[in-house]
Structure 1
Amino acid sequence: MNKTILKLSTKNPIIKFIRFIFIIFIWGLFSPIRLFIPKRKNLYLFGNNKGSIDNSYYLMDYLSKNFPDLDCFWVNRNSMEIYSLRSIWLHLRASKVFIVNGKTDILIWLVGHAEIHNLWHGIPMRKIRLDDDMQHGLNKWFIALSDWLTPAFHYVNSEYERNIIKSAFFRQKAILETGSPRTDIILHQKAANIAETSTTPTDIKKVLYAPTWRPYDSPSPLMSVDDCEYINKVCQKNNLILYIRAHFLENISIESQARFPLIQICDNDNDVNTELDQYDILISDYSSIIFDYSLLDRPIFLYTPDIDLYSEKVGFYLDYKDFVEGNNYTNWKTLMKALSSLTNKKLLENNLVLSSKFKKLGHTFTDARNMKRIADFAIKGKL
């Protein structure tokens, strides 16, 4: 398995300091301009630097359809068009801004006193932002200063996530337990596909393997060529197809792909939230996709060959080993053996119980009305 890291990460403290000073300079430069430009009450901006996907995009679509008096605009952060005069003017006039990854989803130094609504992009298991021990020195100062200058309304899925946001962000305007838009999307897909699959049953099981990113140098959790040969044989024997979806910061490929027709690489450009219901089983590790997939009430298998290293380097918000109660695997042979034994009633029950635990911890609401709750607060100021 070949893996390419797409993220450019610099540890040079001089470059970090220069970037820090530049952002402060730009912020100060535009501050007087923002003060003299009035906000338009019904103008909302939405952004996601990963593309037209996830919570901010779903909410924009919902508000556009249900509140025709609102002017909703999408910020294409990956295009030079964002620096056009029209885009700058929209940033200056917008009264509310909705982000999902962070302040880089938009041109934060232009929005001034607009309300910032942070929808975030997943329920974390790993420590993030100010809680992340891999963030050092100036990085944490920059994160804290950004939170202090532009505090946001945060929307969370549960009390568990509320406590994380409270700890990981230096300052918040409010933390609101509404559920997230992506939960609505997954539940709508689930409901729509129940009717479809009931009329077109299939014996072939689709298995999604979606590991998280390792923010340190380590052996890849993805399989070797020898593993691929074994996995392909097990899949063939048990009517399985394994789909691998790498983290968006990674590109992967399989040597001699044609030799392993039952192992497929997913297109990372596709929106995984709209595709989750296509899969019968999930394999993951410490990724927030586990909380998302738990909404489907299907088996979840945990492949954690580097659990001790990950815990030491990154850290968790929960006692991972205690929470999963030994229902995790550290090599592909034992994992695939378990997958091929899904007819074993006790094993299946254990995996469904694990899925239910993640669902209970991560989601207060499963009524597919999260976007309505968010809209009620963002527009009307009440839940």
Structure 2
Amino acid sequence: MKTALRRLKIILKTVIGLPIYYISIFFPKKKGLIVIGSSLGKYFADNSKYFYLKYYNRDKSGLNLIWLTKSRDVVRELNSKGLPVKFLYSFGGAYTALRASKAYLSHQLDDINGALIGGAKIVQLWHGMPLRKIGYGGDWMDDNLSGKVKLFISKWLPYAYYMKCDVLMAPSKRAKDNYVEPFSKSFRNNKIEDNIVLSQQPRTFCFEETFELSETFFPEKKMLLELRSKYKCIISWLPTQRKQFNKTIIDVIKDSGLNMKKMDAFCRKTNSIFVIKAHFLDFDLLKGITKGFNNILIYPNSDPYPLLKFTDVLITDYSSVFFDFLLLDRPIIFMCHDLEEYTNKAQFYYDFETLEIGPICRSWKSTIKVISNISEDNDDFAKKRNNKFNMFGFVEYFDTV
């Protein structure tokens, strides 16, 4: 039933979007008007957020950058801070999208609306340096009916192809090489490598000492400072979303055997706090799950980067967030209870088991043991982690394109 409704939604969206897309192409553009969005239009987050904040902290002459969102909460939040924002599903929001000469995204066309920005130059900031294969060659191929339909859409109905863009940002040469195949159907010309630009990910601005984590834009700062003063160690768990496996964060907690009582006891004993940060697609599923546990916290904010800035030990699995965390040179643990299942269904760009960035644990028992060793200053992967960081060759400058 859900699959049928999803397909119907896609069909209606494609049909309705067609005339709007052609209106958008020929709609008069305003030079210098730029729109930006993120996280399917739901949140003020990710690379788009940090690009937007960086922009409004420097010279703004001659340009107009407007955040477009499908969330009235985001509209209220940015309005309260005096920043330009419009609700997409309003006359003003739709008109702004149609008039924009450029659009910045962090996830896909639905960060704004593909049909409304058809005539704009689309810059895809993307949302991480992926571990598993994505897009064409990863999520889909053109050797079956479904793939041929996607190929047709990417070529003839570009407003409906989620990865469509004109320019793609890559944080390293290794990432750029990996992006060539998955984004090969994304651009409006065939100059694939020329369309991929090396640039620092804006969200990693947060890690820089000169970046001001002001409470005006980061109200979570107060909470994070309190955690820092209260606990010896902040342990953050950021599992990747498993939508492609029809699983949620609740399934991951159950399948991995996370015992909240034991984790809470361990954290009390070591004066630590265990912070669970769910992917934004699972953001609203964890309410009440940690009730009664004083040393376990469900992170209440959609943006994980301030949390990472304060994190002492990162636990993740297949999320690209660990590439960003390498910039901080702190311990990383891979908790991969479903490694065989995941690797059987997903192909990787790197040999995951020989990355040598951090230990790969298969249970929470072994994960806790590794955390205990780290707390005793036994970071066995410190040197290897530094070598891998240098190997990936992350760029240290940002190209505005």
- Which TM-score tier does this pair reach, normalised by the shorter chain? 0.7 to 0.9
Tell me which of 27, 33, 38 is aligned to 1:43: 33
Q: Deviations over 1:287-331 (max 9, x none)?
A: 111112111111111111111110011222111112238821111
1:359 is displaced (CA, Å) by 3.3
In 2, Cα distance between equivalents of 1:132 and 1:155 = 19
Larger RCO, structures 1/2 (Cα 8 Å, 6+ apart): 1
In 1, Cα distance between equivalents of 2:278 and 2:204 = 21
Match of 1:4 in 2: none
Q: Does structure 1 conserve the Cα–Cα contact (< 8 Å) formed by 2:46 and 2:203?
A: yes
Match of 1:222 in 2: 253
* CA 138–239 in structure 1, closer or farther in 2 if over 3 Å, else same: same
In 1, Cα distance between equivalents of 2:37 and 2:258 = 42
In 2, Cα distance between equivalents of 1:225 and 1:108 = 41
* CA 236–110 in structure 1, closer or farther in 2 if over 3 Å, else same: closer
Tell me which of 92, 98, 122 is aligned to 1:92: 98
In 2, Cα distance between equivalents of 1:299 and 1:326 = 7
Match of 1:356 in 2: 386
Task: Show the 5 A alignment for 1:20-169.
Answer: 20-34=10-24, 36-48=26-38, 49-64=41-56, 65-79=58-72, 81-133=87-139, 137-138=145-146, 141-142=149-150, 145-146=153-154, 149=158, 150-169=164-183
Match of 1:235 in 2: 267
In 1, Cα distance between equivalents of 2:239 and 2:252 = 8
1:115 is displaced (CA, Å) by 0.5
**Secondary structure in 1 aligned to 2:87?**
helix
1:114 is displaced (CA, Å) by 1.4
In 2, Cα distance between equivalents of 1:360 and 1:336 = 28
1:335 is displaced (CA, Å) by 1.2
- Which segments of 5 or more consecutive residues in structure 1 lack a partner in the other structure? 1-8, 379-383
1:11 is displaced (CA, Å) by 2.9
1:133 is displaced (CA, Å) by 4.5
Q: Deviations over 1:219-245 (max 9, x none)?
A: 933268872222222222222111111
Q: Deviations over 1:313-365 (max 9, x none)?
A: 122211111223882111111111121122555x4132x24543553455522
Q: Does structure 1 conserve the Cα–Cα contact (< 8 Å) formed by 2:290 and 2:297?
A: no
Q: Does structure 2 conserve the Cα–Cα contact (< 8 Å) formed by 1:96 and 1:117?
A: yes
User: Which AA in structure 2 matches 1:158?
Assistant: S
In 1, Cα distance between equivalents of 2:385 and 2:308 = 14
Deviates more, 1:58-67 or 1:157-166: 58-67
Match of 2:299 in 1: 266
User: Which AA in structure 2 matches 1:53?
Assistant: A
- Which segments of 5 or more consecutive residues in structure 2 lack a partner in the other structure? 73-85, 159-163, 190-194, 215-223
In 1, Cα distance between equivalents of 2:199 and 2:152 = 25
Deviates more, 1:149-158 or 1:90-99: 149-158
**Secondary structure in 1 aligned to 2:149?**
helix
Q: Deviations over 1:144-179 (max 9, x none)?
A: 633663542001101222123211121335000112
Q: What is the CA RMSD across the aligned residues, in angstroms?
A: 3.2
**Secondary structure in 2 aligned to 1:155?**
strand
Match of 2:201 in 1: 180
* CA 270–358 in structure 1, closer or farther in 2 if over 3 Å, else same: farther
In 2, Cα distance between equivalents of 1:143 and 1:236 = 53
User: Which AA in structure 1 matches 2:114?
Assistant: I
Q: Deviations over 1:268-303 (max 9, x none)?
A: x34111221111111111111111211111111111
Deviates more, 1:304-313 or 1:168-177: 168-177
User: Which AA in structure 2 matches 1:154?
Assistant: L
**Secondary structure in 2 aligned to 1:221?**
helix
Tell me which of 188, 208, 212 is aligned to 2:240: 212
Match of 2:192 in 1: none
Q: Does structure 1 conserve the Cα–Cα contact (< 8 Å) formed by 2:123 and 2:165?
A: no
Match of 2:324 in 1: 292
In 2, Cα distance between equivalents of 1:325 and 1:185 = 22
* CA 277–296 in structure 1, closer or farther in 2 if over 3 Å, else same: same
Q: Does structure 2 conserve the Cα–Cα contact (< 8 Å) formed by 1:290 and 1:358?
A: no
In 2, Cα distance between equivalents of 1:192 and 1:28 = 42
Q: Percent identity?
A: 26
Q: Does structure 2 conserve the Cα–Cα contact (< 8 Å) formed by 1:281 and 1:300?
A: yes
In 2, Cα distance between equivalents of 1:127 and 1:101 = 15
Match of 2:75 in 1: none
In 2, Cα distance between equivalents of 1:125 and 1:327 = 16
In 2, Cα distance between equivalents of 1:364 and 1:73 = 29
- What's the TM-score once normalised by structure 2's chain length? 0.77
In 1, Cα distance between equivalents of 2:212 and 2:383 = 21
